[in-house]
Each structure stands twice: as C-alpha cells, then as structure tokens.
Amino acid sequence: MADISSSVANASSGKNQAPGVTECEKDPPISAVILYPSLGTPLILAPGQTKCSIFLGAAAEARTHFTIDEKTKQAHTIHCAVDRHLRLYDIKKKGTKTDTTQGTLFGDGKSFTKAKAAIHGWLVGDFAAGALIKNRHGQPFATISTQAAEVYRGLANVYEIEIDLTQAPFAEIGTAAFKTFAWMVEIDAEHARHQEYQGVTHVEGQDMYIHDFLHNSKNAAANHFSKPYEFNLDHLQATGLPAQRAERLMSWHPVIRSEKKALNIGHLSDVHVNVRHNALAQSPARVIEDDAAGSLADKVGGKVCNSFMALKDLFEQFGKGENRADAIFLTGDLIDFNRNIDPDKVGASIGEQWKNFNVLGKLDDKSLYKRGMDDMLMYSLVRHSYRELKLPVFMTTGNHEAYDVPYGVSPRADSSLSTWANKMGRLEGMADGMSPVMPTIKRDGWWFRSAPREEQIADLRKDVEAASEWISGKANEGIAADHNMTIYEATLAYGPTYGQIYTARNFHADNFDWFSALFTPLSDFVIPYGAKPDDPTGKDTRQILCGLEWGNGEVYINLSLDKVKGMAGDRVWRQSSSPDAQGNTVLPRATHSINDQQKLILNSAGLYKQHSNAKLLVATHFTIINYNKSPLNAKLSITPFDRVQSEGEVRVVDTPAFNDANFGTCEKNLKWYFDTFIFVDDTRRVNHHLSGHSHRSGLYRPTPEDRPNMLRRANIANARDPGLHGEQKSSDDYTNFIVSSCGGPIGVQNLYGELNGWTLRPPSGTLLDAQSGLVKQVKTSDPKKNTQPRLCVALDYLAVMSRDDDSITTPLSFMCTSFKPGQAGFAGNVDVILSNQMASMACITAINFWVFQAQGTGARASKVWHKLMPSMTEGTKLRFGSANGSKKRLTFSAGDLQKINNALNAGDMKVQQAFCEVQLKKPNIADGQPDWGRDMNCSDSWVFPLDIELRMTDIGTIPIMIRPGGERGEVPDWGWLFKNYKSGSGNSYPDPQKIIKG
C-alpha cells in the first residue's frame, strides 16, 4: 500500500524550481489537509460576516511554492494553490472529477486574478504532535492532537487562509444548508485501484490519508470493520447493524451561515455507543422458562436500552421542534471501547451467544471482534446531523475513546491480592522501570527464575476459571443499570464470563486516532464566533466556544505508590494508603489536563472576552464540580489545587483538593483555572462550563470563600438538576457549571438521598439558551425503546449493593411466622420486612412467588413453574437497631402451601429454584421533593432469586425464605440452568464450564 505522506512530498517537491518563484502556472499540484473546519470543529459564520479563515496543513515542500515572506510570514502565492485545489461542495456529496491544473475555483484559468484578490494566506506554525496553532496575529487557536500527527504524517507546516466571502463561489454559503470545503487532488494509482474509488479521478487528499488509516497495520491487526461506508440511519433496529449507504468514510469541512447573534447550544456527553447492545438484544434467555409466566417469561434481550437509538432520538430533538439547538457540543465518551463484538455474528442461540461473549476466549477471533463499528455509527450520526438536521457538532474527547477492548457486563474487582484482576493489574503495572525477567526466588528449597512478564500475563489469561470466579467487588457496579437491566438480567443475557476483564490497563492514548482522523485533528480549540479574522482584538466576537480534550492519560487506582528496592536490584511498587478523600478507586481523573497548551487556549479565550464582552463557554469531558454519593442538595466544598508532577510520582495532596465534590475531575492547574477564570470579574469569567463523565445531571455555581487565602476554598451549595427541578436560569454573577447526564445509557441521580444514589434517569442532554441563559434538560423516555428507567432495576441495585455498602439498608426481606418448630411443612404466613425508605415509597402492589418443580425422569420428565399469589395486608411499624421500617403480611392459600411443600419434598427440603416477583406502582415522593418517579417505568415487576427451604436447627426444622447472598443471589445459577434446560423444545442452556473454557 502506498504511503500517502510520500505522495504529499512528491506532489509538492518541485525539484526543477528555484525557491521564491512566483509564476503560479509552473507550480506542481499541492496536496494538503484542511485542519479547520472539520466534522468535530465546524465553521459557523455569523450574520453579516464577510471574511473567514480556514487552516491548512501541508508538506514542507509547499513552503517554497507559497512564497513565504520570512518577516511577516505571509504566503504571497498561496492563492494559486487555493484556486487550483479548494472546492466548495454540498455537504451531501463531494465531487469526484475536477481540474486541478489551473484556477478552477474562481474560473481564473492561468491568471489567478480573482483568487489573488479574494484569498490571502500566512504560515502560522508547525504541524506536530501537541503543537499549538496560532493565528496570524499570534493568538492561540488550537492544538494538534498527538494522534493526528501520526495519522497525517508528511505534513510539516500550518497555514491560515483568509477568504473573502463576498466573492464567488463563497457567496453560495447561506443559512439553508451546510456546504463543505474540500482540497482536491488527482488520485494516485495505488488508491484508484480500490473499490470505493472506482470511476474517481480526483479526491480530497485527506481522504487518501483516511483510507490508509482505516487499512493500517494497527487496524488490520484489530480487524477493522471491512466496509468503509456510512450506516443508513433511516431504519434502526435494536438487533444487528443497520444497512450501509453508498457514501464512503471521508473527511468533511462543514461551513454554514447562521441567523443567530449567539448560538443556542445542545450539550450531550457520555453517549457510550456500543453495538454490544445490539448483540445482547438478541438474547432469547428468560428469567422464568415458562410461557405461562407472562411478562416474566419475556426475553431478557428485549429489555436492553440501546445507547445509539437513544442518542439518535436526542439528536433529532436538538435538530428540530421546541428543543431546536443551533449547535451541539458533544463532550466525550462517544463509544465504550474500540474493539467490539459484531452483532451480526453473535449467534442465535444462548450457547452461541454466551460462547462469543467470552472475552478471554474469543477476543482474538477477528471475524467476531472488530474495531470501528461504534465509531462508524457515531460518524454516521454526525454526518446525519449535518446533512439532514442542519445541526453542527463540536466535539472533544473523553477517556472511553482510548479504551482498547471490551470487558464483561458486570466486571469484577477486589482489593484482595489473590484475585485474578489484582494479579493482572500488578503484572501490567510492572511495565515501567521493571526488568522483563523477575528476580530469582527460592521455593521449597529450590531456586527458580520466574518467566518474563509477558509470559506471565499470557499464562494468567489462560486461567479462565480464576478470571470467571464470582467476587462481590465490582469494577463498575452500574454497567447493567446503564443498560436498564438488573445485574441478574444482564448476566443472564451475557453468560458465565460476565465478570471477566482482559486487561487492567485498557486506556491507550493511541486509540484517539479514530477521533483525530474522522472527526477533528484538533485536540483543543477556541472559536470566537463572529470575530473578523483580520481584527486582532476580536471585538466583534459574539460568543466564545472553547473545547479541551481529555488528554493522554487517566488514573482510577488512587493509591500512593512508593519505590523500593527488590531482590536482584529490580524496582517494585508497593501500594500504600489512599492519598486523598476520594478513596482507593475513583471515577477516572484526567492526569494530563489542564496542561500548558490548554492554559494558552483558555487565555486566548479570555482575551476575546475582554475585548468583546461576549459569553465564554468552555466544554470538557472531565468534570470540575461533581458530587459522588453525597446528595445533590448537600453543602460541599473543595480547595482547588495545582499539582505539578511527572507521571508516576506519588499522588499525595491535601484532602480538600479531591473529595466528594469533584469526582472525575482533572489533576493539573485547578487552582489556576479558578483564580484565572472562575473567581474573577465578568470581564474574564467563564460563563458556562459544560462537562459530563459522572452520568449525573447537575447545575453548580461555586462561590469563593471570603477570606484571604492562597488556597481559596470553593463552596458549592444550592445545586440544581434541570431534569428534576425544572428549567433553570443561569447566573450572571458566577460561573455556571453544567454537568449533563448520559446521552445514551440510563443516567443516575441523588437529590436528597432517595434510593441511595440509584435514582435512574432517562438518557438526556442539556439545552442552553444563549440569550436568556435558560438551562433546560432534553430527554428521551420511551418504554418501547427501553429508555424509560425501570424502577425494578433501581430497587434491585439497592438490594445487591446493600451487601457491600453499610449506608444502604436492605429494602426488603422475609420472616416466616405462624409456624411450629419442627413442623414438616411450610407455614401459612410470611412477613415482608421493608426498610424505612422502601416503606415510605409505598410502591408495592403485590408480591408473588415462582417455585420450580421437576417431576419424573426420562421421556416423562416434566419441569413445572408454580405461581404463588398470597394475599397481602398491612403489617405494623417496626423499629429495630438503627433502622426503622414496616412490614406487610403475606398469607398463602392452602393450594399455594401445597405447591410449596410439594416442591420442597421434590427438592430434598429445599426448592430447587425460586423467584420473588414484586409488582410495583409509581412511588410516593416526599413533600417538597421533585417527582423523581415521573419518568420511571413502574409497570415492570422486580424479580430476584429466592431460597425457600426447611432448615434444621437446635429446635427442629424451621421454614426459611431469603434472598441468598453471594453469586446465587445476584446472577443466574449456571449449573442449574444447564441441568434442567440443556435440551428440549425451549431454550437450551450450555454447560457453563465449556463456555468459560472457550
């Protein structure tokens, strides 16, 4: 495959020309890349704007042909190349044939007269990883992402090109639809032979770069999705991938003229597009394998909230109707991970699906796990936004764009040194400064030299039984809830490898290459909307949009690390105590932000504001203010701290710097940001800061502590949620920190401590009205698409998490009554003990039970589920220990008791399998609190495993009814499913050991 960087150099070599020649007709074709605008950083012209600037990256040889004045850096003949190569097309389709041998843009032929009057250019910097791009006035504009520099190798310099918009063809840019710039060159022979270029004589040079990126060695190794064409989003379905359009993946450089003096911004974050949802949605598994069970026998795959479908709904709302925005700001976590399972190949049966979801066993199957499917969906939606909705999209990166491979649907982590994940983390943690061969050790009187680290990691990945063991600790307990599923439902669809991870180091910054290639090569940027490019003051700026990337690192294991000497002089790491108030594991923090380049970008934004008094908006994925488990109404504070450290140094700071008020923040220059842009007067203050990351909606206005202190505390009080408290008015006196919830998965909230932080919220974004300052939540809540949060999921999380979190009281438990010790059968009454929280919600309408009974053997064997429907009456108020609550009494009929006792006898005094079904209604909301239940689906029953048995005690047999602890009470009993449903007319469940072993 040809190297496009070589093509750039060859096209621009001009070996027979002397430097400084200005006869344009003698110049060779110049291949270049338009850096701005791009899909993720569009160009929006303000009303009446007559000039604009675009930025170009070109090879070093282009400098000769642009005739650079070394003092002013003006490129005196750049207009010739622009006339030859720059085109303006409709956003729906670029041209495939043109003439780049003469002045075609203006119809100048060989004279370039019109181009000379309308086009001016300047050399403004170098094209390099992390390079700061300044405009011709020396003002910071953007930074080149590290990954863009790798994708676009061969570029050396950056040019600013000023365009007179009054001249044809730029006068065509209007308000009705987007146009796109394109820098067209003749296609080379190597690329012309590929199918997607058949019949194409000219192509945008950047598209050849993108072609090479999609087919490079890294993507080939990850088996990049093979067809580089957009997805058709007209007819989405929950299962499988959508059909593809005829348009190939390529670069776009959108431009449109707005009618607005300032832009209304729709904010979306944490959309987590994940085609695994389309695979999980195909699961035919059922909680109760009996058609007579009604909705409880529904396929669990039908319960999955599909992030992409929810996201598309939100785009449509922001694109039209009462929630119409003028632009979207999308702040990271566009995808869950880079390589994913192909939903078209996951299989139709439970056995096939479980086997294919096995990450350790199947990740290397290139026909199954591929890179790029989620990115292509996201790319197709952004294209749809420009093409059909006329809605521009500004984008920044989050940490998930860097995540390499998938993990289980309920991945497990624990502090115990003996667990599989901890062993993997320690092995992978030896990467820096460690010898590849561990020291010699003595064992049982013999001396051994252990295997190299890479071999140890490979051997550990073969220990699939240990990787699949159940442990209570969860790496991210909310993943199933993101899907709108209980952990039981999600793991039933996924299979017995639900807890597996492939690596403890999943963040790899080179995975930002997809974002840099297809969305924008700019990692940070400041765009002064309405500013005249020839005015260095920017006094006509009407709005300032500033986006900052996540950066090339993260930390989520929040431990102090000490360097000590080990045997044979090798360095090892020893874990010490947590260095700050956020604990040992945290919502990932951005370790490289706010960096020095970002400070310069922010300072540039501040200068625009000082000269124009326009509103300043900053957007990041990482939060600045964000609560963890404290209720939103709690009074919190932080002391912003400037950490200056190199990577890997001990992470110890004062406790107030990182606490319950700023989970998921950045780690550098927080104090600088507050001192420079937050605790200042309005001439420089950030008006709105948009972020996500936490999956919790909030509007915060920190105020400075009123005392002279080098480390001023930021007090946070009276925080609001635009989704539950209703539309909010921005403050003109303080910075408004807007944290949007998930734009794809189910979000969470905790206003007053209700549901202990498991109040689930529909996928949503935020609409910011530029003129009035009103802040409104825009949501999608559709039970048909599973975007309406299920109350049963929240209640189940309370029950599961209460086992590991002392702050959560078990919402519901059972106590058998009206029995005589030693009696041979089950009793007629059971008391249901409700926590005070559960009792106050008054959301239970009935409690039923399902008990399994297997009868007979061989051909006459039968498997029957019995439904028990006891009557329910109100019990008494309870007070016990530090908690209080109430109880309800269940009374079984004689027929139900007989069914229980029959199942007990058949199961050797224990029912083989049983479930509790709690039927629900909309919960009561405490006086004065927003109605957090109005968006919830309360019709789905809460279903969980139950143990029913007669247990031997010192006083004889007593009946027991309890949700079991451990694995059996949280996830399916894999062995039982295999034993009873390994064959037959219904669903077949495979041997879990065969699934685990691949």
Verify cis geometry, omega within 30 degrees of 0, for the bond prior to 594: yes
Verify cis geometry, omega within 30 degrees of 0, for the bond prior to 169: yes
Three-state SS sequence of 518-538: HCCCEEEEEEEECCCCCCCCC
Q: Which residues contact 328 (CB under 8 A, 6 or more apart)?
A: 265, 266, 267, 268, 315, 318, 385, 391, 392, 393, 394
Best CA proximity match to 19, nearest among 68, 58, 80: 68
Identify the bridge partners of residue 265 per DSSP, sorted by sequence position.
327, 768
How sure is the predictor about 565, in pLDDT bands with cuts at 50, 70 and 90? Answer: very low
Neighbours of 390 (CB within 10 A): 17
Mean pLDDT along residues 950-961: 82
For residue 721, the surrounding DSSP H or E stretch is none
Mean pLDDT along residues 32-55: 98
More confident residue, 631 or 447: 631
Neighbours of 18 (CB within 10 A): 7
CA distance 567 to 733: 60
Mean pLDDT along residues 683-694: 97
Chain-centroid distance of CA 140 in Å reads: 29
How sure is the predictor about 452, in pLDDT bands with cuts at 50, 70 and 90? Answer: confident
pLDDT at 497: 97
pLDDT tens digit string along 115-166? 999 999 999 999 999 999 999 999 999 999 999 999 999 999 999 999 999 9
Using the predicted structure, report yes or no on whether residue 570 has a pLDDT greater than 80. no
pLDDT at 578: 60
Best CA proximity match to 959, nearest among 824, 801, 834, 796: 824
pLDDT at 413: 84
- Beta carbons of 357 and 4 less than 8 angstroms apart: no
Cα 911–Cα 912–Cα 917 angle in degrees, nearest 5: 70
Best CA proximity match to 306, nearest among 745, 694, 784: 745
Q: Which residues contact 554 (CB under 8 A, 6 or more apart)?
A: 399, 402, 507, 588, 589, 590, 591
pLDDT at 928: 87
CA distance 608 to 813: 61
Q: Which residues contact 19 (CB under 8 A, 6 or more apart)?
A: 64
Q: Which residues contact 258 (CB under 8 A, 6 or more apart)?
A: 44, 45, 46, 47, 175, 326
- Beta carbons of 724 and 773 less than 8 angstroms apart: no
pLDDT at 436: 40
Q: Which residue has the tokens 């840019």?
A: 173
Please provide the DSSP assignment of 42-76 as one string.
Answer: -EEEPTT--EEEEEEEE-TTHHHHHTB-TTT-BBT
Burial 400-423 (b: 16+ CB within 10 A, else e): bbbbbbbbbbbbbbeeeeebbbbb
Using the predicted structure, report yes or no on whether residue 710 has a pLDDT greater than 50. yes
- Judging by DSSP bridges, how do beta strands 688-691 and 615-619 pair with one another? parallel
CA distance 345 to 337: 18
pTM strictly above 0.75 = yes
Q: What is the CA radius of gyration of the chain?
A: 31
% of the chain with per-residue pLDDT over 70 = 90
pLDDT at 602: 98
Using the predicted structure, report yes or no on whether residue 562 has a pLDDT greater than 60. no
CA distance 837 to 802: 13
pLDDT tens digit string along 874-885? 877 765 544 467
Residue 158, both tokens: 């950056």
Mean pLDDT along residues 810-827: 80
- Beta carbons of 171 and 66 less than 8 angstroms apart: no
pLDDT at 627: 80
Q: Which residues contact 49 (CB under 8 A, 6 or more apart)?
A: 165, 257, 530, 532
Lowest mean pLDDT among 462-471, 631-640, 664-673: 631-640
Best CA proximity match to 626, nearest among 269, 336, 935: 269
Q: Which residue has the tokens 């019109």?
A: 114
Using the predicted structure, report yes or no on whether residue 691 has a pLDDT greater than 60. yes
Give Cα separations from 49 to 444, 477, 530, 612 (angstroms). Answer: 81, 51, 7, 16
Using the predicted structure, report yes or no on whether residue 93 has a pLDDT greater than 60. yes
pLDDT at 824: 65
CA distance 679 to 198: 58
CA distance 913 to 918: 17
pLDDT at 446: 55
Mean pLDDT along residues 666-692: 95
- Beta carbons of 616 and 697 less than 8 angstroms apart: no
pLDDT tens digit string along 10-24? 333 333 333 333 467
Mean pLDDT along residues 256-279: 98
Using the predicted structure, report yes or no on whether residue 629 has a pLDDT greater than 80. no
Residue 336, both tokens: 């869950």
Mean pLDDT along residues 186-199: 93
Using the predicted structure, report yes or no on whether residue 950 has a pLDDT greater than 90. no
Lowest mean pLDDT among 405-409, 436-440, 506-510: 436-440
Lowest mean pLDDT among 23-32, 55-64, 499-508, 614-623: 23-32
Give Cα separations from 912 to 409, 855, 966, 991 (angstroms). Answer: 26, 12, 17, 18
pLDDT at 688: 98
pLDDT at 430: 63
Mean pLDDT along residues 492-506: 95
CA distance 248 to 232: 12
pLDDT at 709: 61
pLDDT tens digit string along 698-707? 999 999 987 6
Residue 800, both tokens: 């599961």
Cα 572–Cα 574–Cα 576 angle in degrees, nearest 5: 160
Name the phi and psi angles at 767, rounded to 5: -110, 120
* Mean pLDDT, the chain, integer: 89
Q: How many residues can be counted in the chain?
A: 998
Hey, which bits of 452-584 come out as E strands?
A: 522-529, 543-547, 554-557, 561-565, 571-575
For residue 421, the surrounding DSSP H or E stretch is helix 420-428
How sure is the predictor about 983, in pLDDT bands with cuts at 50, 70 and 90? Answer: confident
Cα 583–Cα 585–Cα 588 angle in degrees, nearest 5: 115
Mean pLDDT along residues 527-550: 97
DSSP-derived 3-state class of residue 493:
helix
- Beta carbons of 572 and 566 less than 8 angstroms apart: yes
Name the phi and psi angles at 246, rounded to 5: -85, -15
DSSP-derived 3-state class of residue 462:
helix
- Beta carbons of 777 and 697 less than 8 angstroms apart: yes
Mean pLDDT along residues 772-788: 95
% of the chain with per-residue pLDDT over 90 = 74
Identify the bridge partners of residue 716 per DSSP, sorted by sequence position.
636
- Beta carbons of 261 and 769 less than 8 angstroms apart: no
pLDDT at 880: 52
Give Cα separations from 174 to 42, 168, 390, 919 (angstroms). Answer: 14, 13, 12, 56
- Judging by DSSP bridges, how do beta strands 615-619 and 543-547 pair with one another? parallel
pLDDT tens digit string along 276-306? 999 999 999 999 998 888 888 899 999 999 9
- Beta carbons of 272 and 255 less than 8 angstroms apart: no
Best CA proximity match to 755, nearest among 713, 813, 800: 800
Residue 175, both tokens: 């308000």
Using the predicted structure, report yes or no on whether residue 437 has a pLDDT greater than 50. no
